[in-house]
Amino acid sequence: MDLQERVKMLVKLGNYMLSSEEEWINIKERASRENAWFTNEFVEIAIDNIAKRFLQEDLLQIWVNRYEVKDYPKTQRNIGVVMAGNIPLVGFHDFLCVFISGYKQTIKASSKDSILIKHLVNKLAELDESVHNYVQFAENLKGCDAYIATGSNNSSRYFDYYFGKYPNIIRKNRTSVAILTGNETEEDLAKLSDDIQMYFGLGCRNVTKLYVPRDYDFIPLLDTLKKYGYYFEFHKYKHNYDYQLAIQMMGRKFYMTNDSIILVEDQAIFSPVSQVNYEFYDNKESLIEKLIANDSIQCMVGNEFINFGEAQRPSLSDYADGIDTMKFINGLN
């Protein structure tokens, strides 16, 4: 497959992902059944973003032209890809980067999110059976020339031990924050509530920490977040909410809630499911400097940063951990 063949195949895959083919509908339903965090709504959102923001021919052409991707790499490499499973198809971008480069890849799919990615690779193979020569799945990644591994801070130590002597990208825990001024519109807050609660807040691009001025009025935000009150229909989310609420009550700490999410003043940028931390700031410029230097932050959301509502809608060039995956892959040639 040359580069243009790979691009056209991906475009066809995007069209398939937006289709209502019965096989595809059944696969999506199966993915939702096997992972309670993968609601039908969130599976559809993830698929829609990939199909419309990754797998459009014009977008793909602009993207690959930035890297001067060749039809065939001078030296064939096999890249091991360890995928996370916190939100649906979260590892698709890594697959896409390796596939478009023309390299081979061996994927260790997350047990929480294996159904969708395996099915989509098989659909590509229906277009060209040689895809199976380029993409394989395995439980143990051995003998690869380079590795891209996504996981937690704990798993990153494991990855570094096994993959550290090879060229690698090893990703750790990351999360996102929002800087508010108090002048946000009702529409801004509605979009911010999506940045917070989409995918139950499980993604590294979800906002888990708010920075607000000292006179900030939380009521409009709490009212807006009520649109996610239906999360209580999902026992896993409700269990988390009840547990975190009990911790706040037993600790006699000040908290705010709209009966579906908890706001807590806490310096930590990471917060558990159903809770969002906040912190007051006095000087926004010094705050921004501090946040930019924090390598645990994936996105900064706000009127001067990533637009409200866009945190969980990445483009092809929005690389995890700020590390250019395509540049890394090209550097292996």
Instruction: List the domain boundaries for the chain.
Output: 3-173, 175-301
Pairing of strands 207-213, 175-179: parallel
Contact 278, 253 (CB under 8 A): no
- For 134, 165, 297, the CA distances from 269, given in Å and listed in that order, are 39, 32, 8
pLDDT attached to residue 249: 94
pLDDT attached to residue 68: 86
| pTM (2 d.p.) | 0.95
Topology, domain 3-173 = Aldehyde Dehydrogenase; Chain A, domain 1 (3.40.605)
Tokens matching residue 43: 């599976």
pLDDT attached to residue 1: 87
**Could you give the count of Cα atoms lying within 13 Å of 256 in the half-sphere of its Cβ?**
16
Q: What is the CATH number of domain 175-301?
A: 3.40.309.10
H helix runs in 110-173, sequence order: 115-127, 131-134, 153-163
**C-beta neighbour count of 299 within 10 angstroms:** 23
The model's pLDDT over 227-276, given as tens digits with 9 standing for 90+, comes to: 999 999 999 999 999 999 999 999 988 999 999 999 999 999 999 999 99
The model's pLDDT over 120-135, given as tens digits with 9 standing for 90+, comes to: 999 999 999 999 999 9
pLDDT attached to residue 165: 96
List the beta bridge partners of residue 213: 281
pLDDT tens by residue, the chain, 333 residues: 899 999 999 999 999 999 999 999 999 999 999 999 999 999 999 999 999 999 999 999 999 999 989 898 878 999 999 999 999 999 999 999 999 999 999 999 999 999 999 999 999 999 999 999 999 999 999 999 999 999 999 999 999 999 999 999 999 999 999 999 999 999 999 999 999 999 999 999 999 999 999 999 999 999 999 999 999 999 999 999 999 999 999 998 899 999 999 999 999 999 999 999 999 999 999 999 999 999 999 999 999 999 999 999 999 999 999 999 999 999 997
The rounded distance, in Å, linking the Cα atoms of 275 and 190 is 17
